[in-house]
Structure 1
């Protein structure tokens, strides 16, 4: 936990309500996100019990597995979920746009929109990932055939689960993580995983503090868990008898229909409170203005969606159960690059996030007191425009002379530290030499050079391009790393869904 978040948590306890740790929204919110609230049977390996799914608050569809240990009913659940998810995905493939590549010498096309899935918590993402693994290798023919939509569902769920690991992606979001990215509560991180308690802190009912609202939310009788795990008392005293009644009514159609209706009502009552909390969370997030670089990251999600849709259309193979050595290394490298870029972009978009870097000495804020926008450096082979500015700051400046700094106000411009001079009253004078972001001439365009009186932030964090790493072709994987990967799906078609 950073110093500022710890301070915000302490202020939340004192104020009785969660405190903002962001001034803008750092994720994309779809106009019609598909909300999925899953439940799994306790004691079974990701056995689906029920799910409430829909793209609008008044458009919830309940999926129920009356016998979660029954293989056929599980795959019927998957087929029913596919009947909702796949048309939702196809609805985002109606229009595409041209994107310039190779410095404008060529174009590629991507979809104008991309789908977005929302689940209550990280455990919901795990549920979808495991459901995708259990279904993407199934076959519509042969032994244990399934509906043709089931393996396609599994491939798309795996796609979304992999995007959820990508820093800055908004394709699949856990509501608890989305909310704690923007608010700090007075409870622990583990308690923040409980959606009712988290929203109790962020948006407590009238007359209650956040702590009181969170304490009330801990009662599973009035605030059921947000899934996929269920409350043990509910399992033992209500769910188990309902499932048993359904099983015992196998030979009586009327009794079986009555038992199913009873089970369906029981599960709907468990899921409905979380459904309402999910859309309440969406409303809170939508009230925040989006960060300037959110759209750029969403464009990356649209690129990924377009690429995988084209892969599926071309009858490409499903994702392997395990990546080969080269694929794993390349994926790790992509995630590390994305994490670095995401951290910088959040800081550039949000003064509250940048404040954390100011505390660690990676950034400082100062006022421009002197500026020489027309300075020419003629020490090289040819004269070049190199303006200089002087800032005065009261913050500690821990960067050395010669360091290169960047300003969120002019991200394309570099600033080299030329002088650091301690001044009176704990102030520091910083002289910077500017390059880039001023055109190719010897006269800086208006606004490209900071003016006297302008208050700016400079940081060592760069939002520039990060070059990709170099990896050998998969077929050249050395024997020390397992050798070339198998061409088949690593035996995935024989994986059982126990």
Structure 2
């Protein structure tokens, strides 16, 4: 937890209500997100028990498994989920497309990406694990031969695995747990572990009238009134469920099992409905926050990846390998690290509260422009040539840790490169001399276009972090040296991949 987040948590503890951590929303929210509230059978890693799913807050679709130990019913549950989610994916794919340019320099290429992409929201991080395990369980199933499943089952499994993989990348909004989204924007007076409880977290953020967040959160720790958000169930409910399943298995005649099945469905729905309503409450709260400037760019990248994977399934369609090979794992790790650095920098550029964290670590500073030299020039590379390089003097109330020669940028003018020329202590603060190296609408001589040069008396922030820093370059797979295993062999699924003990 950062220093400012710790202070916000202490303030929330003192006041009894949540404190805002951001001024804007740093995540995309689709107009029609696909919400999934799953439950699993206690004692097994991924035994589907029930789910509420859909895109309409008023009409959730209930999926249940009356015999959770019956593998045929489990895959029937997956088939029902596929009938809900796959048409939603196809609807997004059918949306109009927009052109974009991929690559740099000579490798630039004009492509198209869909204007829509699906967004899946689950209550907590356990929902991500559930989807990853469900994808692993289903993506290698065979649609022919012994123990065949419906063709939609392995297709859904491939998509679930892809969504779960993308959820590991910072900034991606294709699959997100709501508790993570809310905790990123609000600080509560409870621990991060307690913030994983969606009911208590929302109790802190939006308590009922006349109640504090702390009081509401304490009340919502009662599982009988506020069932767990899943995928694990409450142990007390497990005993009730076991009795209902036993009655279902032993019910006589034709109407007996039907009545028992209705009781199971009723109890499972009652367990998930409060979480379903909390999900849409949290979505509403997040929608009330204005989006950050970089949110649209990150969502455009998500839409691009969605379109590319959909095309891959049409062209090839092989399921993901059980494990990444060495080269693929290294490249994936590098992409995740770059995504984290880029996401952190973009949040700071979009939000002064996030940028304040970098001021505390010495990677940014804020001050007032006290002087500027708009006419300044320096010798160019060619003999007798000059370059227009205006300067700003920024007076900061706090000491500045960045050294002379450091490249910096200002969030309101991200396209303007700058460099620190000198840092002079001034009482308790510092005076920083900054040279501007461009960003004047391609003008090479003064005067600067209006707004491109900070005015005297203007408060400015400069930082050494850059959301557009170049990513690291790794060799292509075919150029992998022998010391690192050489070029990896492509993954080829076999019949053994789908084998499972059925006794």
TM-based fold match above 0.5: yes
- In the TM superposition, 1:12-27 aligns within 5 A as 12-27=12-27
Q: Flag the 1:370–1:341 CA change in 2: closer, same or farther, 3 A.
A: same
Q: Does 1:359 align with 2:363?
A: no
- 1:70 and 1:477 mapped to 2: Cα distance? 48
- 2:256 and 2:318 mapped to 1: Cα distance? 45
Deviation, structure 1 residue 497? 7.7
- Whether the 8 Å CA contact 1:123–1:228 is kept in 2: the answer is yes
Q: Does 1:488 align with 2:492?
A: yes
Q: Which residue of 2 aligns with 1:35?
A: 35
Q: Flag the 1:107–1:379 CA change in 2: closer, same or farther, 3 A.
A: closer
- 1:293 and 1:129 mapped to 2: Cα distance? 28
Deviation, structure 1 residue 411? 1.1
Q: Which residue of 2 aligns with 1:368?
A: 369
Q: Which moved more, 1:430-439 or 1:264-273?
A: 430-439
Deviation, structure 1 residue 483? 7.2
Q: Flag the 1:255–1:478 CA change in 2: closer, same or farther, 3 A.
A: farther
- 2:72 and 2:329 mapped to 1: Cα distance? 34
Q: Residue 69 of structure 2 aligns to a residue in which SS?
A: coil
- In the TM superposition, 1:320-469 aligns within 5 A as 320-378=321-379, 380-381=381-382, 382-424=385-427, 426-438=428-440, 439-443=442-446, 444-469=448-473
- 2:451 and 2:501 mapped to 1: Cα distance? 62
Measured against aligned partners, the alpha-carbon deviations of 1:90-143 in whole angstroms (never above 9, x if no partner) come to 111121111134579741011011000000000001000100011011111012
- In the TM superposition, 1:80-479 aligns within 5 A as 80-94=80-94, 95-101=96-102, 106-236=109-239, 238-249=240-251, 252-378=253-379, 380-381=381-382, 382-424=385-427, 426-438=428-440, 439-443=442-446, 444-473=448-477, 476=480, 478=482
Measured against aligned partners, the alpha-carbon deviations of 1:24-70 in whole angstroms (never above 9, x if no partner) come to 00000000000000000000121000000010211200000001110
- 2:485 and 2:331 mapped to 1: Cα distance? 14
Q: Residue 114 of structure 1 aligns to a residue in which SS?
A: coil
Measured against aligned partners, the alpha-carbon deviations of 1:7-27 in whole angstroms (never above 9, x if no partner) come to 000000111101000110000
- Whether the 8 Å CA contact 1:20–1:184 is kept in 2: the answer is yes
Deviation, structure 1 residue 433? 0.5
- 2:293 and 2:481 mapped to 1: Cα distance? 41
Q: Which moved more, 1:253-262 or 1:473-482?
A: 473-482
Measured against aligned partners, the alpha-carbon deviations of 1:352-383 in whole angstroms (never above 9, x if no partner) come to 11111111111110011111122111253231
Q: Residue 37 of structure 2 aligns to a residue in which SS?
A: strand
Q: How many residues align?
A: 495
- 1:37 and 1:281 mapped to 2: Cα distance? 14
- 2:69 and 2:483 mapped to 1: Cα distance? 42
- 1:492 and 1:294 mapped to 2: Cα distance? 43
Q: Flag the 1:471–1:490 CA change in 2: closer, same or farther, 3 A.
A: farther
Normalising to structure 2: TM-score of the pair?
A: 0.95
Q: Residue 169 of structure 1 aligns to a residue in which SS?
A: coil
- 2:294 and 2:471 mapped to 1: Cα distance? 19
Deviation, structure 1 residue 71? 0.5
Q: Flag the 1:39–1:136 CA change in 2: closer, same or farther, 3 A.
A: same
Q: Residue 270 of structure 2 aligns to a residue in which SS?
A: helix
- 2:496 and 2:183 mapped to 1: Cα distance? 37
Deviation, structure 1 residue 158? 0.7
- Whether the 8 Å CA contact 2:17–2:212 is kept in 1: the answer is yes
- 1:287 and 1:96 mapped to 2: Cα distance? 28
- 1:109 and 1:492 mapped to 2: Cα distance? 38
Q: Flag the 1:350–1:495 CA change in 2: closer, same or farther, 3 A.
A: farther
Q: Which moved more, 1:286-295 or 1:411-420?
A: 411-420
- 2:473 and 2:449 mapped to 1: Cα distance? 36
Q: Residue 26 of structure 2 aligns to a residue in which SS?
A: coil
- 2:49 and 2:489 mapped to 1: Cα distance? 36
Deviation, structure 1 residue 482? 8.6
- RMSD (Å), alpha carbons: 1.7
Q: Flag the 1:341–1:206 CA change in 2: closer, same or farther, 3 A.
A: same
Unaligned runs of 5+ in 2: none
- 1:411 and 1:486 mapped to 2: Cα distance? 41
- Whether the 8 Å CA contact 2:400–2:429 is kept in 1: the answer is no
- 1:495 and 1:15 mapped to 2: Cα distance? 56
Q: Flag the 1:476–1:369 CA change in 2: closer, same or farther, 3 A.
A: closer
Measured against aligned partners, the alpha-carbon deviations of 1:190-241 in whole angstroms (never above 9, x if no partner) come to 00000001111111111221111111111011000000000101101x1110
